[in-house]
Amino acid sequence: MKLIASSAELPELNRALLDAETLFLDTEFESNRSGTELCLLQVSDGSQIFLVDAIALRDLTPIAEAFQRGSTWVLHAGQQDVMLIGARLGLTTRPRVFDTQVAWSLSTVEHSVSLAYAQFRAFGLRATKAHQADDWVRRPLSASQLAYAAADVEHLPQLYAFLKERVAALGRADLVPLASAESIWNEGAAAPVLSLDSFRNAWQLDYRGQAGLRYLIQWFNQLPERDRENAPENKTLLSLASRLPRSVDELQRIKGVPRSWSRELSQTLVTGMTRVADAAEGTGFTPIDPPAYATKRELQVDGWLAAARAEVCVSEDVAPELALPSRIVKGLRSHVLGRGTLDLGAALEGWRKTLLAGALARFAAEFPLKV
């Protein structure tokens, strides 16, 4: 174990890591209202452990070359670690990541296991939690703190080899990087797309309100993906369509309208809603019937999908929270209710389709959904 606390040591560390095909990584950080601060970067090439003091060394870019030469990054539950490292090193390319927590969930029904638990189950090792709640900003770091931090990567090479062998035996070696990338960068999580069906109480709107809501739906769906996350909730959009405010001040008084909205954006929405509402015609308007709160068919489908999720994940030895999280099950539900087909594999994409399509088809054949 070697502590890197001087900028003069960074070029040497970069050279030491340049030829490593795999980097075993972890971080210690502090989170507060102002953000998350990287305090210590633990990195191993499989033979030696380096502890980089990210508080003493504000510029870590001298080691960036070693981190973006195509090596595989091995971490456990590494989403925040990958983001912190990438930001502090100024990396411009995404690394190939093997997340050992993800690999564990792709080869057992257990989800979100801790590193200590995985190492105990795999090797019988008992890790200490002595410094888990320490203030990692404070300096100097004690010898026991450094040893604790080093232990987080000490056995990662061994765990990596263990899990590589296990997922390879299951034919899933190529799926781990795909699932790891999804967990870190939320790949595969499509941005929500709104329609009138997204609003349970849209049936209460008159023809002008419906026109305003359609305008807001179109506006929302055209937003960049990152902006949709910060857009108002559906109930706020429905309130806007119901009220049809004719001024910026009136719009901004409606509960749920973000305070961050500029007057320019607010005016755009006011103008747009007013225009389409005034142009709407009530002649021939057909009101929407209120949707049922629950149907027998929906209850059947929900129960059948719950059984399919459990049975398939047990038979395939994969954690249901990873393989079939609620957003995926919701898509399967819409697929069955909307298309009336039990071909669940057609509703899956990417690594999930590769892993689960066959098992879901076998379940549907053996336990067909009753009409």
The number of domains in the chain is 3
Asked which of 279, 307, 326 is the last residue of a domain, the reply is 279
Q: Which two tokens stand for residue 166?
A: 């296990």
pLDDT tens by residue, 117-139: 999 999 999 987 778 778 999 99
Same domain, 204 and 67: no
Task: Provide the whole-model pTM.
Answer: 0.87
- Name the residue type at position 282: G
Residues 207 and 307 in one domain: no
Q: What are phi and psi of 23, to 5 degrees?
A: -115, 125
Strand pairing report for 49-53 and 2-4 = parallel
- pLDDT of 229 > 80? The answer is no
Are residue 181 and residue 202 in the same domain, yes or no?
no
Same domain, 25 and 157: yes
Are 93 and 9 found together in one domain? Answer: yes
Residue 340's pLDDT band (cuts 50, 70, 90): confident
Query: What is the rounded CA–CA span in Å between residue 113 and residue 123?
Result: 15
Mean pLDDT of 157-182: 98
The candidate with the shortest Cα–Cα distance to 242, out of 219, 198, 210, 217, is 210
Asked if the structure places residue 359 within a domain, the reply is yes
Residue 191's pLDDT band, with cuts at 50, 70 and 90, is low
68 assigned to some structural domain: yes
Question: Where is the domain boundary, 279, 311, 339?
Answer: 279
Whether residues 267 and 303 fall in one domain: no
**Residue 218 pLDDT class (50, 70, 90 cuts):** very high
From residue 69, alpha-carbon distances to 21, 73, 94, 115 in Å are 9, 11, 11, 27
Domain boundary among 247, 279, 311: 279
Domain CATH code at residue 110: 3.30.420.10
Q: What's at 224, amino acid-wise?
A: P
Q: Per-residue pLDDT for 243 more than 70?
A: yes
| Same-domain pairing of 29 and 152 | yes
Q: What is the token pair recorded at 339?
A: 């298309």
- Residues 139 and 40 reside in one and the same domain: yes
Q: What is the pLDDT confidence band of residue 276, given thresholds at 50, 70 and 90?
A: very high
Domain presence at residue 190 = no
Paired sense of beta strands 49-53 and 35-44, if any: antiparallel
Considering the domain architecture, whether residues 268 and 234 belong to the same structural domain is answered as yes
- Residue 371: inside a domain, yes or no? no
- Backbone angles phi and psi of 60, in degrees to 5: -105, 5
Residues 13 and 123 in one domain: yes
Query: 201 pLDDT exceeds 70?
Result: yes
Whether 149 is covered by a domain: the verdict is yes
Same structural domain, 335 and 205: no
- Mean residue pLDDT across the chain: 95
pLDDT in tens, 94-113: 999 999 999 999 999 999 99
| 284 is a domain residue | no
- What per-residue confidence (pLDDT) applies to 189? 59
Domain that holds residue 339: 296-366
**Is residue 286 a part of any domain in this protein?**
no
Residue 308 falls within a domain, yes or no?
yes
Q: Tell me, yes or no, whether 85 and 157 share the same domain.
A: yes
CATH number at residue 232: 1.10.150
Query: What number of CA atoms fall less than 13 Å from residue 296's CA on the CB side?
Result: 2
Confidence of residue 190 (pLDDT cuts 50, 70, 90): low
